[in-house]
Structure 1
C-alpha cells in the first residue's frame, strides 16, 4: 500500500504505542506533533479525531483512532511483517489485545484516580476487581514467550506498552512475570528506535516551552 501514512501524536502520550507499532512495520510515515490543550483541541485536528486526543493515524483515506485499533489496523494493512496471526489462529491475539484495552485500562485508571468499586457492585464493571485483572494478566504473560503464543505480534505492542507504562509509573505491581515479559519486548530494535524518536521529540518540545 503506497498511500501516505501520518501519525498524529505527542511524545508524552499513548502516541508512543502507535510510534512503536509503526517502527515494527517499518514503512515510511510522517509525524504531526500536537500540543495538549491547544493544537490537539483545535478545529483542524478535530476533523481527524473529534475527541481531540492522540494518537491517530491517517493512511490514505482511512483514519484510525484508539491505540489498540491502530495496532490491529497496521498489522492487517502491512501483512508482510507477520504481526497478526492467520485469521484462524487469532483467538488469543484478539482476546489479550482487547483485554488490555478494556478491563486492564479501566482497572488501572480507576485505581490511579482513587476509585474502588464497592464489593456489591463488582459484577457491574467489566473487570470485576483490580486483583483479578492483575492475576489474569500475570498468568497470560507467564504462560508463553509472547501474549498470543510463541510469536511476537501487534498484541504485544499494545499489551506490552500497558505493562511497561504501568511498571514505570507504579500503576502495575512489579511482579517478576511482568518484568520478564516487558524485558523481552524492550530489547526489540523497533521499540528502541521508537523510544529514541519520542524522547528526542519530547526534548524538543521542552526546549520550545
Structure 2
C-alpha cells in the first residue's frame, strides 16, 4: 500500500536521489511535496525531520532521513528488488556508499563554496583534499559497471547520483572513468522514470510561481 511508504521531498533537491531509489525498488509510495520556505519548516514536518530538510521517508511509521541511509534502508526493507549484495559481500557496497555520502560530498560542497583546506587542515578534514577524494572515487568506478560485487545496487544509486549531478553542474570535473560509469546508469528505466517525475514536478512548480 502507498500509505505504508511516504516520501517527503522537493523536486529541486537531493530528493531526486531517493526518487531514483524508490523507482528502482518498485514498491508503491506516496509523495509529499514540501516548500523550502513554508511546509519544510512547519511544525508537522519538523516533527519528522528536525533539520527541516528533505528528503525523508516514513515507512510503516518509522522515519529515515539522509539520502545514503534511505537508500540502504530501502534496499534492506525491499529485498526482492535485489538492490543490496548478500551480507557477506557488502564490503565495497558500504565502503563506497558512505564514502560518497561523507568525504566526497563534503569535499565537493566545501570546494564549491570556495573553502580549500590548508596542508595542515587536510590532516583534520575527513577527505584530505578535493583531488584526493576524486582520485579515491575514480578507483571505485574505473573500468567497472557497478561499484560493488559486479551488480547494480543502492550504492550505485547514490554514487551515480553524486557523479551525475556533479558532472552536470560542474562541481565534479570530467574524467573518462566518471563519464563511462555514469552513462549506462542514465539509461536505466528507474533513473528515467524518476527524472520524468521530478522534471514534471519542477515544471509545475515553476508554472505556479509568480512571474
- Does the alignment reach a TM-score above 0.5? yes
Contact 2:140 2:147 in 1 (8 A): yes
Aligned to 1:139: 139
1:201 aligned onto 2:207 = no
Residue 2 and residue 201 in structure 1: after superposition, are their counterparts in 2 closer, same or farther (change >3 A)? Answer: closer
Moved over 2 A (4+): none
Residue of structure 2 in register with 1:161 after alignment: 161
Q: TM-score, normalised by structure 2?
A: 0.97
| SS across alignment from 1:6 | strand
Deviations 1:89-127 (A, max 9, x none): 000000000000110010000000000001112110100
Structure 2 partner of 1:64: 64
The aligned counterpart of 1:18 is 18
C-alpha displacement of 1:138: 1.0
Report the Cα distance in structure 2 between the residues aligned to 1:145 and 1:208, rounded to whole angstroms.
Answer: 40
Distance in structure 2 (CA, Å) of the matches to 1:110 and 1:128:
12
Which residue number in structure 1 is paired with residue 177 of structure 2?
177
Q: Aligned with 2:8: secondary structure?
A: strand
Alignment partner, residue 103 of structure 2: 103
Gaps of 5+ in 1: none
What is the Cα deviation at residue 3 of structure 1? Answer: 6.3
Q: Residue deviations 1:148-204, cap 9 Å, x none?
A: 131000000001000000001100011111111110100100000000000001111
SS at match of 1:8: strand
Whole-angstrom CA distance in 2 between matches of 1:124 and 1:28: 43
**8 A Cα contact 2:163 2:172, kept in partner:** yes
Indicate yes or no: 2:201 matched with 1:192.
no
> Who is 1:126 aligned against?
126
- The Cα RMSD (Å) is 1.1
TM-score, normalised to structure 1, is 0.98
**Match for residue 48 of structure 2?**
48
Is the contact made by 2:3 and 2:30 (CA closer than 8 Å) also made in structure 1? Answer: no
Equivalent residue pairs, number:
209
- SS of equivalent to 2:142: helix
Q: Distance in 2 between matches of 1:162 and 1:2?
A: 28
SS in 2 for 1:151: coil
CA distance in 1, matches of 2:118, 2:129: 10
